[in-house]
Structure 1
Amino acid sequence: MKNTKYISWPVLGLMAFVNVIGFDDIIYNFKNQGLGVITTWVILFALYVIPYGLMVGQLGSTFSNAGGGLSSWVRATSGDVLGYFTAWTYWAASIPYVVDTANTVVVAFGWLINGDNSMEQHMSNAMFAFLTFLVFIIFIVLQNRIKNSLQFLNALGGGAMFIMTILFVVLTVVNLMHGESIASAPLHVSSFTPKINLHFFSTLGLLIYATSGSELVAPYVTRMRHPKRDFPKAIMMLTIMAGFLTIFGSFSLGVFFNDHHLPVDLKMNGSYYAFDYVGRHIGLGHSMMFLFSIAQLLYMFALLALLLDAMTRMLILDTGKRFMPKQLLKLNKNGRPINGYILTSGLSAGILLMGVFLPDMNEIFNWLLNLNGIVSPYVTCWIFFAFMQMRKNSHKFQSDYVFIKNDRAAYLVALWCFIVTFAAATFGVFPQDVPPTSFTYWQELIMNIVTPLILLALGLIMPAIAHRQQAKGK
């Protein structure tokens, strides 16, 4: 194998960064908690994100020859059945993520074309859903026709988003040095203190969703030159970049937005508002907003590429014939499970159809986003489960990289992360962006419960179909 086919750890770090966090993640959680989210970010990184990344590092290093990532880790530590169930739930949780990403692409095009948020006022829910579906259908076709698109898109998209975030923070400092007032002033210690209530707990899942996902790049660890040594480096690179983005980015938002009076559509349009605001204040007009719109599109294209490729490969190629119907195992000439992409598209369309019945485009966007804050943390629990199983039987699993040499201590840290993640996912079921007494609140609450259950039920049907096919000798 030639050197050019290897993935270096900086490129893998950028691939993980693309999947884990972007400027929008800062906006989402700033809308939920205001400047208090800075304290939440610091605590979360210290007590959760860093150990989480290092656990993924050891799992990736220990099972460096396993191509399925998380599902391979669970299979190796707990057997084939749980391995399949992990792959399915991870894939199912990625469906709302894909839809949300495609949603964001449509919004980015709206800003790039119109230069404002006017698309929200003129577009119907049905048209928004149709354009969202069209985006990833077109992208699936293009991805299958363009070879080696994944590494290029992730390096370009991840790099562009990180540069834009640094630029936003730098321009914020420049504005402050030139006497710009702070919109959230006056600032006191209480300004950075999260308000602990039901709303706070219901938003923790979205925070964990924003910082999880590094394990999605694990299937590519086998394409590194020195996976046991370099995979942990990529994870540490990701942690540093994400920490800078969240902490300094959140403070910068507090400079331009009054966290006591935030726009209703901040989650959907906040990133564009922010860059448009800072651009006009430094005399560049709307150019910063248009530049961010382009960076956002590159970032989202990279995210779609990684999601559609990695999540489908993890499910279809790593579960084997025992659990998957033969139709889903079919590969096209480029080695991609094309029928898996079709299944992904169909389920995505179903979720989009559910969202059409919400009041407006902004509420569809918020619901899909918050749905990710439920299903994604539940699936993240598998990581800590696999790590605990590995450390319980550490004599069976050898690795050049070890997170905490003492098995008992490592197990307890993983147990802590598991409990926090499970609790955050459960509280996330409560809708965050609508009044608790409204009809929409109860509508979203029911959808938040029913949608994961439907995706879970489908995971039980697939092995039954596969077993029936095998019994008939097909």
Structure 2
Amino acid sequence: MAGNNNTAKKLTLVPLILMIFTSVFGFANMPRAYYLMGYAAIPWYIISAVLFFIPYAFMMAEYGASFKNETGGMYSWMEKSVGGKFAFVGTFMWYASYVVWMVNVAQTIWIPFSNFIMGADKTATWSLFGLGSTQTLGLLGILLVLFVTFVASKGVEKITKITSIGGTAILVLNFVLLFGGLFVLIANGGDFAEPLTNAKQAFLQSPNPSYGTPITILSFLVFAIFAFGGLEVLGGLVDQTENAEKTFPKGLGIAALVISIGYAIGIFACGMFTNWNEVLSSDTVNMANVAYVVVQNLGFQIGQALNMSQDAAITMGAWFARFAGLSMFAALTGAFFTLAYSPLKTLIQGSPKEVWPGKMGEIKNGMPLNAMKVQAVIVSLMIGGIALGGDNAKEFFKLLVLMTNVAMTIPYMFLSAAFPIFKKKQLAGKLETPFMVYKSQKLSTIVAIIVTLFIGFANVFTIIEPALNGDVPQTIKLAAGPIVFGSIALILYTIYENKYVNKKDTKQNIGA
């Protein structure tokens, strides 16, 4: 009877697909992709799915299956495959990506808040104590970080339940985007708001003048990779899946197909009701608020399709924006409370205790309190430094989004680069192998090289593109995060090695 109960609790194919879908698929990725590349974003999303998403997903599945009893997550995967230093640097970079995420969200979360309260993004007009809008958002961001750190340090985790509200609302938004777009398309007699008179040109050339060169187009790849992110958490689902050897790869394959097609359809749907030049070419539209602009426009277009008056259609658009704002604000707020401590706690618990200086490695009441305080100071300083950089909101939000994309995708390279070494140990029988997709060393190495180079090239193009257009400071800012955090990780682990590992090895040699 006990065995039957355990089997009943395991994931079958459909629940597994739904879990993968909700972990990876992000609503805001579609309007942002359409804003940057129009219909031309679709081929690049498909290329990213083939060269990154699908092969990388199967890598994470194999890691998770072999190390299903390890509690250190990706640190354990890399440490047992390559070694401690490689694992620590890779995991530290993964953690650092969430620091950059907090820097971004602490300032951009006020955009959905503005949409929720005012029905539109009014943050460009906000001013506190005579500060410009970007400095005002920076100040609000710092206050948010301090507040969240204070609350989270008390162990108040129930606040994160708000994410379920936001998550459900965002799921509704996806259906609204698709079926709302179809309704407007039918009401307009099949005429797309963004014309498809020259389909070849539409799917190959961006309407955005900022993405008209080969370098800028290639830099767009990092957005597509980011849209497929979050796969490293899926490895833990292998041992929770019924008949995992067959069900898991099948579920991953179907989910990857559904997500890839879903993104393509969503981007395409944006063109059904959004003319790029009329709606998105304005200087008031940026990477941070474009999702709300698109949803607001959808409400307006539905209002017009229903033969409402101009004022009534505008009001409907504002309510659509409010719904989108509430959805994203709820989801981001809940995520912020969780991510203020969760990645940091995972890093500290997974790595050697002696790596951390002073009392930073202490866990009190289930929280890394001392480390959280240091984290809050670092995030606040980064917010202040970026916010003081200028008053151009469009460039300000572009920098924040690009910094997040680069920081979030670079750690994937560590996991894919470690895969051939993991595979060599796996095939030699040194690791548990309950589940295997890549059954040869040669295939594993080829796939790992393709995935690693694909991510690497996307990030290189993203980082160097501003410098090629004369904006060297932005390139420095984009490169600074990975370099600084990577250097900190190397320094911390080298000190640990010299103090503990090397001395321990020396004593063992003397004893022998």
Check the 8 A contact 2:166/2:326 in 1, yes or no: no
Higher mean C-alpha deviation, range 190-199 or range 152-161:
152-161
d(CA) in 1 for partners of 2:166, 2:69: 28
Check the 8 A contact 1:206/1:372 in 2, yes or no: no
Check the 8 A contact 1:7/1:224 in 2, yes or no: yes
1:58, CA displacement in angstroms?
Answer: 1.5
Question: How big is each residue's C-alpha offset from its partner over 1:398-454, in whole Å with a ceiling of 9 and x where there is no partner?
Answer: 33222232332132112111111111111111356x9924xxx22212222333322
d(CA) in 1 for partners of 2:410, 2:274: 32
Picking from 331, 340, 354, the partner of 2:371 is 340
d(CA) in 2 for partners of 1:204, 1:327: 41
Question: How big is each residue's C-alpha offset from its partner over 1:163-205, in whole Å with a ceiling of 9 and x where there is no partner?
Answer: 2112211110111111164222144122112566111122222
Picking from 176, 188, 195, the partner of 1:185 is 195
Q: Return the TM-score normalized by structure 1.
A: 0.86
Which residue number corresponds to residue 282 of structure 2? Answer: 263
Is 1:74 the counterpart of 2:78 in the alignment? yes
Picking from 152, 159, 167, the partner of 1:158 is 167
Q: Residues 436-455 of structure 1: matches in 2 within 5 Å?
A: 436-437=469-470, 441-455=471-485
Letter in 2 for 1:203: F
1:148, CA displacement in angstroms?
Answer: 5.7
Picking from 62, 70, 86, the partner of 1:58 is 62
Letter in 2 for 1:83: A
Picking from 124, 127, 135, the partner of 1:126 is 135
Check the 8 A contact 2:67/2:432 in 1, yes or no: no
Picking from 277, 289, 294, the partner of 1:274 is 294
Residue aligned with 1:138, SS:
helix
d(CA) in 2 for partners of 1:13, 1:134: 39
Check the 8 A contact 1:322/1:467 in 2, yes or no: no
Letter in 1 for 2:380: A
Cα distance, 1:236–1:65 mapped onto 2, change above 3 Å: farther
d(CA) in 2 for partners of 1:196, 1:29: 16
Is 1:372 the counterpart of 2:404 in the alignment? yes
Higher mean C-alpha deviation, range 131-140 or range 416-425:
131-140
Check the 8 A contact 2:149/2:373 in 1, yes or no: no
Letter in 2 for 1:413: V
Q: Return the TM-score normalized by structure 2.
A: 0.80
The root-mean-square deviation of aligned C-alpha atoms, in Å, is 3.3
d(CA) in 2 for partners of 1:58, 1:237: 17
Which residue number corresponds to residue 99 of structure 1? Answer: 103
Check the 8 A contact 1:375/1:425 in 2, yes or no: no
Residue aligned with 2:287, SS:
helix
Letter in 1 for 2:400: L
Which residue number corresponds to residue 353 of structure 1? Answer: 384
d(CA) in 2 for partners of 1:313, 1:235: 28
Question: How big is each residue's C-alpha offset from its partner over 1:101-151, in whole Å with a ceiling of 9 and x where there is no partner?
Answer: 23332111111122222221334222211212233333344445434665x
Higher mean C-alpha deviation, range 199-208 or range 70-79:
199-208
Residue aligned with 1:429, SS:
helix
How many pairs align? 462
d(CA) in 2 for partners of 1:237, 1:136: 39
Which residue number corresponds to residue 156 of structure 2? Answer: 146
Residue aligned with 1:182, SS:
coil
Which residue number corresponds to residue 509 of structure 2? Answer: none
Letter in 1 for 2:220: T
1:342, CA displacement in angstroms?
Answer: 2.2
d(CA) in 1 for partners of 2:187, 2:359: 63
Picking from 360, 363, 384, the partner of 2:416 is 384
Check the 8 A contact 2:406/2:459 in 1, yes or no: yes
The answer for unaligned runs of 5 or more in structure 1 is: none
Question: How big is each residue's C-alpha offset from its partner over 1:259-305, in whole Å with a ceiling of 9 and x where there is no partner?
Answer: 45633423121111111111122234422211111111122134324
Letter in 1 for 2:401: L
Q: Residues 226-241 of structure 1: matches in 2 within 5 Å?
A: 239=256
Letter in 1 for 2:225: I
Check the 8 A contact 1:18/1:303 in 2, yes or no: no
d(CA) in 2 for partners of 1:290, 1:239: 31
1:379, CA displacement in angstroms?
Answer: 1.5
Higher mean C-alpha deviation, range 161-170 or range 459-468:
459-468
Cα distance, 1:314–1:239 mapped onto 2, change above 3 Å: farther
Cα distance, 1:469–1:221 mapped onto 2, change above 3 Å: farther
Which residue number corresponds to residue 415 of structure 1? Answer: 449
Picking from 235, 250, 260, the partner of 1:243 is 260
The answer for unaligned runs of 5 or more in structure 2 is: 206-211, 304-315, 502-512
d(CA) in 1 for partners of 2:248, 2:49: 19
Which residue number corresponds to residue 31 of structure 2? Answer: 27
Higher mean C-alpha deviation, range 38-47 or range 134-143:
134-143
1:42, CA displacement in angstroms?
Answer: 1.6
Cα distance, 1:263–1:247 mapped onto 2, change above 3 Å: farther
